[in-house]
Amino acid sequence: MGRAWSFKATAAMCAVVAVGAVAWTWSRWKGDVDPVGAVIGLGSAGLAMAAWRQGRLAQRAADADLQVWSGRLAVAVLQAETKQRAQLLGESAVIDVEFTFRRQGSPVSAAPRGSLQEVVAYFRGLDAPQRVVVTGPAGAGKTVLAVQLIIGLLTGRAPDDPIPIRLSAASWDTGVPVADWLAGHLTAAFALSPVTARALVETGRILPFIDGLDEMDETSSPGFASRAGQVLRALDGYQHGLTRSRLVVTCRTGQYDALVDADAGARATARIELTRVSGDKAWRFIQAVTDQEDPARWQPVLDALTSGGGVLAGALSTPWQLTLVTTVYQERDPASGRYLRDPQELTELTSEEEVHQHLLRRFVHARVTAAGGRGAPAPEQAHAWLAVLAGYLHANEKRPPFAERALSATDLVPHELWPLAGHRPRHVAVLVFRAVGLLMAGLLLVQIWSKYPDEPTLPNGLITVGCVVFVRMVGSGPWMQPWYAPKRIDLSRFRTAEGLRRLAWGVRVVLPGAFAYGVVFAFVLGPATGASFGVSLGLVIGIAAGLTVGAPAAADARTVIRYDTAGALTLVLIYTLATGLICTLVAQWPAVLAVTCGLAVSLFLLSAAPLMGGPASLRYLAFLLCTRGLLPWRLGRFLDWCYGAGLLRISGIAYQFRHLELRDHLAAHPESRPTD
């Protein structure tokens, strides 16, 4: 309430200053205004308003071309999930995990069993509307199965088939309807316009894969009123027409059993349960990964796996645990090449939990050492940085909404990590922007005063600069908004009919405002300069708006930041050149003064309407400044390196820990322990 009142009061003061400037300059320029020009200007304004309306209609029609957008989205999802599968499974052998059908009172019937390699055919063989819940113990391969199913459904997809979209369940604010959440995800992760995203959801072209239902609640026994329970009830009511919509949900066995016991399980769904990896399959996997380089090293473990029962047979019965053990015990000394650990020591551990913690403590060190490469951090440093991020995500499970948003407990989106440092990044970003803007305005004022000390129009310039500075500071208000979607410039729009329509739309939308600016500046700077300024301003801003889109669907998190930064710098350059040329050619100002004026005006326009980006990347920079010593300066590069090293995975533009257990372990053990 206080901030809104302050903003309105400041805007009112600006209006008073502007009216005063217009009244004062009217008395100076009275009689010099061209009536014909005024009539033409008013007529142009009317035409601009009509064109603006037609442009908006054309924009909506272009956004609603669902067949085209469905195809583009399907290609982007297939590329992303194929890359994700390669990162999760690597180049080693893939365990063909088996699953069984569990009826649990559901009227849905299905084949009694299946496997990872057969999951696509199994899903297509289900009765409509094909609703599946995938359960299994921690590390059983639920996400891998979901990714495999998505790739299979998209391979050879018919034009009218729905597009499977994988979403993190933990990112769902249960107060948001299912359709709104899906549309919002499409807009944020795949840069679709809100109109297109909403149309795709409402026409049933999206098949949601809700991954990690067990990650929504901290308890291992969620009840009817839990977040997971609310999600399942919302999904029960999610329909396309008169039938329930298709969907896939993944959840740990224990948590889903608790939901079923609380009468909160999903209705009319086929539940498939991933089974544990048999000792024979685990043996074959270890042999394939180690390539039998030294069979004697692993023989005690292999004997324990195939002897039936025992601690190791139970501890190494999931793909995740097998990944841990092969990673940890295949680590070599970088200098000598000898193995750092002997697998036989696993046979001396007395419980499955002891085996599990033993492997987790050594996993980060082993992955960092194995990945290596230029710029690789030290294992201890990587552990410390990852522990900070893991602690932040873990704390978000209990944290109330921050800046009007429920913070994710799984997703690491670089430009949305600023809450880790509290509200400081927001204030630092605005202070930096205001400082630069005030510096440029001050330089402009000094140059005007020194160049024209006796010029009678100096008050006009001073009042103009004062208005620009004052409005610019008020215009910093948009930069205080908590969440900004990064932008980018799409120059390919010059080469397509659709792109040219969007450019025309941008110009038409801005022209009425540009006409108003032209009228005001005509009073202050003279008819010729004011008209030139207004027209050029409209063209520049219109083209900028027409070229600006969200981040591309295939972009990664680092590229998104680069696009946003490049867009803001390009906008400043365009505004500066356009304003500088006007001041030089029309107002006959010296080049230095014209460029300074251009920079001041560009910063003012960028603060008032950051069309082509800026807020997201500047706040990310402020976040890095506020977390010096806790996180690396090149955080995006570090996260990308961790993805390549197999410590993180990617979902859309978000990084996630490879496994929830790895996140929890790092959050609970921020200090790296010596490895034996």
On the question of pLDDT at 25 being above 70, the answer is no
Return the pLDDT at 395: 92
Q: Are residues 475 and 373 in the same domain?
A: no
Domain span at 80: 66-274
Q: Are residues 384 and 514 in the same domain?
A: no
On the question of pLDDT at 473 being above 70, the answer is no
Interatomic CA distance for residues 539 and 277, integer angstroms: 64
SS (H, E, C) 109-151: CCCCEEEHHHHHHHHHCCCCCCEEEEEECCCCCHHHHHHHHHH
Of 16-25, 275-284, 372-381, the poorest mean pLDDT is in 16-25
On the question of pLDDT at 218 being above 90, the answer is no
Return the pLDDT at 641: 92
In a domain, 21, yes or no: no
Q: How many domains does the chain have?
A: 3
Single pTM value for the model: 0.75
Helix axes 295-306, 319-329, angle to 10 degrees: 150
Return the pLDDT at 201: 93
Residues 235, 249: contact at Cβ < 8 Å? yes
Closest CA to 346 of 362, 335, 334: 362
Q: Are residues 473 and 612 in the same domain?
A: yes
Q: Which of 274, 309, 338 is the last residue of a domain?
A: 274
Q: Binning pLDDT at 50, 70 and 90, where does residue 631 land?
A: very high
Q: Are residues 389 and 440 in the same domain?
A: no
On the question of pLDDT at 666 being above 90, the answer is yes
> Within 13 Å of residue 660, how many CA atoms lie on the same side as its CB?
24
* Mean of per-residue pLDDT scores for the chain: 78
In a domain, 624, yes or no: no
Looking at residue 405, the DSSP 8-state letter turns out to be B
In a domain, 313, yes or no: yes
Interatomic CA distance for residues 536 and 542, integer angstroms: 10
Interatomic CA distance for residues 447 and 296, integer angstroms: 81
In a domain, 637, yes or no: yes
Q: Are residues 269 and 136 in the same domain?
A: yes
Q: Are residues 601 and 676 in the same domain?
A: no
In a domain, 441, yes or no: yes
> Within 13 Å of residue 191, how many CA atoms lie on the same side as its CB?
21
Q: Which of 228, 257, 274 is the last residue of a domain?
A: 274
Q: Are residues 655 and 612 in the same domain?
A: no
Give tens-digit pLDDT for 71-102: 989 999 998 888 888 877 765 667 889 999 98
The backbone region for 553, taken as left when phi is positive above 0, alpha when psi lies in -120 to 50, beta otherwise, is alpha
Return the pLDDT at 474: 46
Q: Are residues 284 and 269 in the same domain?
A: no
Q: Are residues 115 and 256 in the same domain?
A: yes
Q: Which of 238, 257, 274 is the last residue of a domain?
A: 274
Q: Are residues 466 and 481 in the same domain?
A: yes
Of 549 and 66, more confident: 66
Looking at residue 251, the DSSP 8-state letter turns out to be E
Residues 576, 602: contact at Cβ < 8 Å? yes
In a domain, 157, yes or no: yes
pLDDT exceeding 90 applies to what percent of the chain?
26
Closest CA to 408 of 651, 638, 223, 644: 651
Q: Are residues 74 and 218 in the same domain?
A: yes
In a domain, 58, yes or no: no
- CA 600 to chain CA centroid, Å, is 31
Return the pLDDT at 268: 84
Here the CATH number for the domain that contains residue 241 is 3.40.50
Return the pLDDT at 607: 62
On the question of pLDDT at 456 being above 60, the answer is no
In a domain, 1, yes or no: no
Q: Are residues 461 and 594 in the same domain?
A: yes
